[in-house]
């Protein structure tokens, strides 16, 4: 591979790509960079090497201008990165590819769409984008799948796509943060070939890379070794090796480490394996796994002997993890047979589980429990005898060097320690077999060797069978046998030596790549690529001049467009946005009713006269009451009310009729169930109304005149809603509620999502401004909210029969302004929340109280005073409530409502403006 990347002499590298002076950076209490001063040469490939968590990423992010400088001075491309003006110019000249497999990609967008979006951010015209994307895809070998969603690409392809995104604007400085971590050897090699070709074409471009692979670092022109936030050495790889008298860079790095860390390290010694008789530990026959049409594992067969260390190698997504999961019983196989320790695999078989230890690819222990608690929990669940539990946990802590960290949470530990904890948990119950899925991915060389020594001890001394997968070739060489996997199939399985010899290759890596190339037909492909190298550089960019401008509609549109495509492909979100309000509207419309009807009542008539029956008849005619069987004795009143059978009981005493006729004013008892006060209150009103009309009847009957008991008439006019049905008031209010809660929530989640998935990096490293970013993201949600309004309007007109009596134009204008304000509110929320769950909760908690309690929904605004009134007025909901109720039921228009429109417009502007000011382009 060395011939691919010709080392350039440093002398060629004139000038400085970036420099740091006395730069320190902290995250809370921990120091990421500790007074670092360094000068990185331009026009060459500069590498940062060092274990995880020593500050490599922070250093790169500072140079790229995506992180705010805390102390010290950072210069890149001959300018001060502290100056916003210089940064704005730099966005078009620097390309930054963050850590993590395709973290800045949009998984539901296709390969082409991802690149097209980034091209738009740099202000490239359609023809230019098309030409550049075509060129990049051809040279990365991604051209056969421009329409594949980025989420469905393998890790190596994702990294290539990310790189295309970084290169689309011909940067002068390319910053790559661990671009090949977790990528298989073939993809890794293709990746570096690609970088080499691009550098051959544009020799003035500087590249700065952080990497965990020492073999890769060998090929860089210049290196800086880092440890604990400091630079411990700089120079060419040859210089570093010469200075430490080391054979290779890995060794050189270990010698550069400070004394205590170095001492922990010793070379891995592997004694010969003595073959053991007996049945195979693992046997798989034609194991197959299908996910829909996709065949993840295709008739895989292998045998692993007891006590063997068996390695699984293969490109990303080739089915290694899936095979392992089938063996543990986590995934039921679609076809084929496998047995573990002589037992056929059965997900329900608890006994086999006790004999196997499994470690998944990503950290899968409890982050919220301490190291010790995690071990204790597993000891108990694996049913270790009570007295052995304590000593075994202590033994594990010691053996894996975890005793210092026993009481800290795994979250706060470096990756290498976490992996050791996972291994400790996997071996805690002394299993006869270990299934380990990429146990050393992301672990630095020193920790990796310690880890291996322990595995070797287990295999050789305790006869534990070990089945593991890895991307590291030096680890593969330590296995007794390895199996090469590609696209769900096993290509070859043998000892590392035999495999290398079979391909007549110099190394296992070369043999592996040869196998993979044969299997995928990539070899021919990369030859074709080399011809492209000769192509002239694409036309000079027309985009650079405008991309530094303050506000650009094209960039805003790029975000709006991309967000819309993403929403369109996430049906669950879209369904929630549109169906949620409909369901809730129907629920509220039918369910929330302040109309009290059909109150269950019964009478205890101890009089049984014409008069008493007439009184009870007046109840019967009313739709408000529904009669239940009579009460026969007084004690039943209490009981039937208590059981909830009755809401109201009427007690007429004996002698009622007589007393009434004699003007002796008899007493009638009414018992109400006060458990629900609103209902009881309303019932009381009904009863007094009934009693009055009854008395009027009585008087009329007796005197023959029409004089009623009351000497005046009281006319009650229910304005705006003559029938006084709840639905007329509920429908406009539900529209008010739905158009604030859901658009705000969706918008907030939409922005925070980018923070969580990492695609916010595109905002930080391209010329797009906060305002363009926010408004661009807001537009699709405004459109969704408007569509949602139209569905609610249709429901209100056709299902509930609630018409718009006032000005439709005033209503629509109000809705548009209101939705702009509520989505703007979502943007404000998104600026201070970090997780999507947080965004949902914060929106609900903050918006719910003013929207439900102080908007006029439950209590008229005119009854509010003090804080309640203020809270109501300080939120858009109360203002829109006036417009909604006014236009739906009160027949109003702009003439009466304009002040509300004005207020909503002010809210919209203030919210969006505030969000744009608060959302910083750089990360803290």
Partner 1 sequence: MRKRLTNVLSLGVKELRSVRADPVLVLLVLYTFTFAVYAVATGAKLEVEHASVAIVDEDRSELSGRIKAAILEPFFKPAQEIGASEIDRAMDLNRYTFVIEVPPKFEADLLAGRKPSVQINVDATAMAQAGNGAVYLQNIVSQEVLSYAQRAEGTSKLPINLVVRSKFNPNLASHWFTAVMQVINNITILSVILTGAALIREREHGTVEHLLVMPVTPVDIMLAKIWANGLVILVAALVSLNVVVELLLKVPVAGSLALFLAGAVIYQFSVTALGILIATFTTSMPQFGLLAMPILVVMNLLSGSTTPMESMPLWLQNVMQLSPSTHFVSFAQAILYRGADLSIVWPQLLAMTAIGAAFFGVSLMRFRNAIAAAQ
Residues 803-862 that bind partner 1 (CB under 8 A): 835-838, 840-841, 845, 849, 852-853, 856, 858-862
Chain mean position to CA 672: 52
Site string for partner 1, 514-543 (x = CB under 8 A): ------------------------------
Instruction: Check binding of 313 to partner 1 (CB under 8 A).
Output: no
Instruction: Check binding of 617 to partner 1 (CB under 8 A).
Output: no
Q: How far is CA 683 from CA 603, 648, 697, in A?
A: 15, 8, 21
Of residues 747-766, those binding partner 1 (CB under 8 A): 749, 753
Of residues 148-207, those binding partner 1 (CB under 8 A): none
Pick the closer one to partner 1 by CB: 144 or 674: 674
Helix (H, G, I), strand (E, B) or coil at 224: strand
CB 143 within 8 A of CB 161: no
Pick the closer one to partner 1 by CB: 51 or 314: 314
Q: How far is CA 556 from CA 93, 365, 623, 775, in A?
A: 20, 42, 59, 7
Pick the closer one to partner 1 by CB: 91 or 694: 694
CB of 707 to partner 1, least distance (A): 8
* Phi, psi angles (nearest 5°) of residue 835: -115, 160
Query: Which strands make up the sheet holding 625-627, listed edge to edge?
Result: 625-627, 599-605, 648-652
Pick the closer one to partner 1 by CB: 299 or 573: 573
CB of 484 to partner 1, least distance (A): 23
Determine how many CB atoms are found less than 10 A away from the CB of residue 491.
18
Burial class (CB in 10 A: 0-12, 13-18, 19+), 548: middle
Signed CA dihedral, 728, 732, 737, 739: sign only: positive
Pick the closer one to partner 1 by CB: 557 or 720: 720
Instruction: Check binding of 145 to partner 1 (CB under 8 A).
Output: no
Read off the tokens for 726: 């709840």
CB 466 within 8 A of CB 459: yes
CA distance 327 to 329: 5
Number of residues that bind partner 1 (CB under 8 A): 134
DSSP assignment string, 277-331: -SS-SEEEEEEEEEETTEEEEEEEEEEE-TT-EEEEEESTTSSHHHHHHHHHTSS
Instruction: Check binding of 378 to partner 1 (CB under 8 A).
Output: yes
Instruction: Check binding of 799 to partner 1 (CB under 8 A).
Output: no
CB of 861 to partner 1, least distance (A): 6
Instruction: Check binding of 635 to partner 1 (CB under 8 A).
Output: no
User: Where do runs of H (alpha helix) occur along 53-207?
Assistant: 56-64, 84-90, 111-121, 126-140, 155-167, 185-201
Instruction: Check binding of 392 to partner 1 (CB under 8 A).
Output: no
CA distance 596 to 90: 68
Of residues 658-697, those binding partner 1 (CB under 8 A): 660, 663, 665-682, 684-685, 687-689, 691, 695
Instruction: Check binding of 343 to partner 1 (CB under 8 A).
Output: no
Single residue of 306, 353, 372, 486 touching partner 1 by CB under 8 A:
353
CB of 747 to partner 1, least distance (A): 13
Q: Which of 305, 258, 248 has its CA nearest to residue 474? A: 248
User: Where do runs of H (alpha helix) occur along 758-874?
Assistant: 761-765, 770-794, 808-832, 836-848, 866-873
Instruction: Check binding of 356 to partner 1 (CB under 8 A).
Output: yes
CB of 758 to partner 1, least distance (A): 15
Instruction: Check binding of 279 to partner 1 (CB under 8 A).
Output: no
CB 220 within 8 A of CB 47: yes
Instruction: Check binding of 583 to partner 1 (CB under 8 A).
Output: yes
Single residue of 225, 345, 641, 827 touching partner 1 by CB under 8 A:
641
Q: Which of 846, 889, 894 has its CA nearest to residue 871? A: 846
CB of 775 to partner 1, least distance (A): 23
Site string for partner 1, 455-494 (x = CB under 8 A): ----------------------------------------
CB proximity list for 27: less than 8 A, separation 6 or greater: none
Instruction: Check binding of 244 to partner 1 (CB under 8 A).
Output: no
Helix (H, G, I), strand (E, B) or coil at 34: strand
Read off the tokens for 509: 């890596």
CB of 909 to partner 1, least distance (A): 25
Instruction: Check binding of 896 to partner 1 (CB under 8 A).
Output: yes
Single residue of 303, 868, 913, 914 touching partner 1 by CB under 8 A:
868
Determine how many CB atoms are found less than 10 A away from the CB of residue 623.
8
Of residues 398-457, those binding partner 1 (CB under 8 A): 409
* Candidates 8-16, 190-198, 253-261, 709-717; binding stretch for partner 1 (CB under 8 A): 709-717
* Candidates 144-152, 217-225, 311-319, 343-351; binding stretch for partner 1 (CB under 8 A): 343-351
Single residue of 19, 108, 721, 922 touching partner 1 by CB under 8 A:
721
Single residue of 200, 330, 610, 700 touching partner 1 by CB under 8 A:
330
* Candidates 19-27, 374-382, 520-528, 551-559; binding stretch for partner 1 (CB under 8 A): 374-382
CB of 42 to partner 1, least distance (A): 43
Instruction: Check binding of 553 to partner 1 (CB under 8 A).
Output: no
Single residue of 387, 705, 865, 924 touching partner 1 by CB under 8 A:
865
């Amino acid at each position: 591979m060395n011939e691919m990347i010709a080392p350039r002499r440093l002398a060629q590298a004139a000038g400085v790509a970036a420099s740091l002076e006395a730069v320190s950076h902290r995250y809370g209490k921990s120091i990421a960079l500790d007074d670092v001063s360094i000068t990185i040469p331009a026009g060459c490939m500069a590498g940062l090497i060092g274990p995880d968590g020593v500050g490599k990423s922070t250093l790169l992010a500072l140079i790229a201008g995506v992180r705010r400088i805390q102390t010290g001075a950072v210069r890149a491309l001959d300018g001060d990165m502290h100056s916003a003006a210089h940064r704005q110019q730099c966005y078009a000249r620097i390309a930054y590819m963050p850590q993590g497999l395709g973290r800045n990609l949009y998984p539901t967008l296709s390969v082409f769409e991802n690149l097209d979006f980034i091209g738009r951010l740099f202000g490239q015209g359609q023809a230019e984008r098309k030409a550049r994307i075509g060129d990049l895809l051809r040279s990365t070998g991604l051209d056969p799948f421009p329409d594949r969603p980025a989420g469905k690409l393998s890790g190596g392809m994702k990294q290539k796509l990310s790189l295309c995104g970084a290169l689309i604007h011909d940067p002068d400085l390319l910053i790559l943060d661990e671009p090949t971590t977790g990528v298989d050897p073939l993809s890794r090699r293709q990746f570096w070939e690609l970088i080499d070709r691009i550098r051959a074409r544009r020799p003035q471009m500087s590249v700065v890379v952080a990497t965990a692979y020492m073999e890769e670092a060998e090929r860089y022109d210049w290196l800086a070794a880092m440890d604990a936030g400091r630079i411990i050495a700089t120079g060419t790889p040859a210089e570093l090796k010469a200075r430490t008298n080391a054979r290779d860079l890995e060794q050189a790095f270990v010698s550069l480490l400070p004394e205590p860390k170095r001492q922990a390290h010793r070379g891995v010694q592997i004694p010969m394996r003595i073959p053991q008789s007996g049945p195979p530990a693992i046997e798989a026959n034609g194991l197959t796994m299908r996910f829909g049409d996709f065949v993840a594992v295709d008739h895989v067969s292998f045998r692993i002997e007891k006590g063997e260390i068996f390695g699984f190698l293969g490109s990303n997504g080739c089915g290694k993890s899936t095979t392992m999961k089938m063996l543990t019983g986590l995934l039921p196989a679609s076809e084929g047979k496998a047995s573990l320790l002589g037992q056929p695999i059965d997900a329900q078989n608890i006994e086999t589980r006790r004999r196997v230890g499994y470690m998944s690819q990503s950290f899968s222990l409890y982050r919220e429990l301490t190291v010790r608690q995690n071990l204790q929990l597993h000891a108990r669940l694996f049913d270790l005898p009570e007295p052995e539990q304590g000593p075994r946990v202590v033994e594990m802590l010691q053996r894996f060097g975890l005793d210092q960290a026993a009481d800290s949470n795994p979250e706060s530990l470096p990756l290498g320690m976490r992996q050791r904890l996972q291994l400790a948990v996997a071996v805690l119950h002394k299993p006869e077999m270990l299934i380990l899925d990429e146990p050393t991915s992301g672990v630095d060389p020193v920790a990796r060797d310690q880890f291996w020594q322990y595995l070797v001890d287990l295999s050789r001394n305790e006869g534990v069978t070990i089945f593991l997968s890895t991307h590291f070739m030096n680890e593969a060489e330590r296995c007794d046998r390895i199996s090469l996997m590609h696209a769900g199939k096993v290509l070859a399985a043998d000892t590392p030596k035999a495999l290398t010899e079979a391909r007549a290759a110099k190394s296992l890596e070369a043999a592996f790549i040869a196998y993979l190339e044969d299997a995928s037909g990539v070899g021919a492909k990369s030859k074709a690529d080399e011809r492209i190298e000769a192509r002239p550089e694409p036309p000079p960019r027309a985009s650079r001049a405008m991309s530094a401008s303050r506000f650009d509609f094209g960039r805003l549109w790029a975000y709006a467009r991309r967000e819309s495509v993403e929403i369109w492909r996430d049906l669950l979100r879209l369904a929630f946005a549109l169906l949620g309000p409909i369901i809730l509207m129907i629920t509220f419309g039918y369910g929330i009713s302040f109309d009290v009807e059909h109150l269950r009542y019964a009478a205890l008539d101890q009089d049984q006269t014409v008069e008493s029956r007439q009184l009870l008849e007046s109840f019967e005619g009313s739709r408000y009451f529904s009669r239940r069987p009579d009460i026969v004795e007084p004690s039943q009143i209490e009981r039937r009310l208590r059981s909830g059978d009755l809401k109201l009981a009427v007690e007429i005493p004996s002698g009622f009729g007589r007393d009434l006729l004699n003007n002796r004013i008899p007493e009638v008892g009414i018992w109400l169930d006060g458990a629900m006060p609103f209902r009881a209150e309303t019932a009381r009103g009904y009863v007094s109304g009934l009693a009055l009309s009854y008395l009027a009847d009585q008087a009329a009957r007796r005197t023959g005149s029409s004089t009623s008991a009351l000497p005046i008439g009281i006319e009650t006019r229910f304005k705006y809603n003559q029938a006084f049905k709840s639905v007329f008031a509920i429908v406009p209010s539900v529209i008010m509620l739905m158009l604030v809660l859901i658009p705000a929530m969706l918008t907030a989640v939409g922005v925070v999502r980018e923070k969580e998935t990492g695609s916010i990096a595109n905002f930080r490293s391209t010329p797009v401004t906060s305002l363009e970013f926010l408004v661009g993201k807001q537009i699709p949600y405004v459109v969704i909210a408007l569509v949602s309004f139209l569905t609610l309007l249709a429901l209100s007109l056709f299902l509930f029969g609630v018409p718009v009596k006032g000005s439709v134009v005033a209503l629509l204008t109000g809705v548009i302004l209101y939705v702009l304000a509520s989505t703007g509110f979502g943007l404000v929320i998104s600026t201070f929340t970090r997780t999507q769950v947080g965004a949902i909760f914060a929106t609900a908690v903050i918006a719910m109280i003013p929207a439900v309690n102080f908007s006029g929904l439950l209590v008229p605004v005119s009854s509010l005073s003090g804080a309640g009134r203020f809270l109501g007025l300080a939120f858009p909901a109360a203002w829109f409530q006036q417009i909604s109720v006014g236009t739906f039921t009160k027949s109003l228009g702009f003439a009466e409502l304009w002040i509300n429109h004005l207020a909503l417009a002010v809210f919209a502007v203030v919210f969006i403006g505030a969000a744009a000011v608060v959302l910083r382009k750089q990360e803290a």
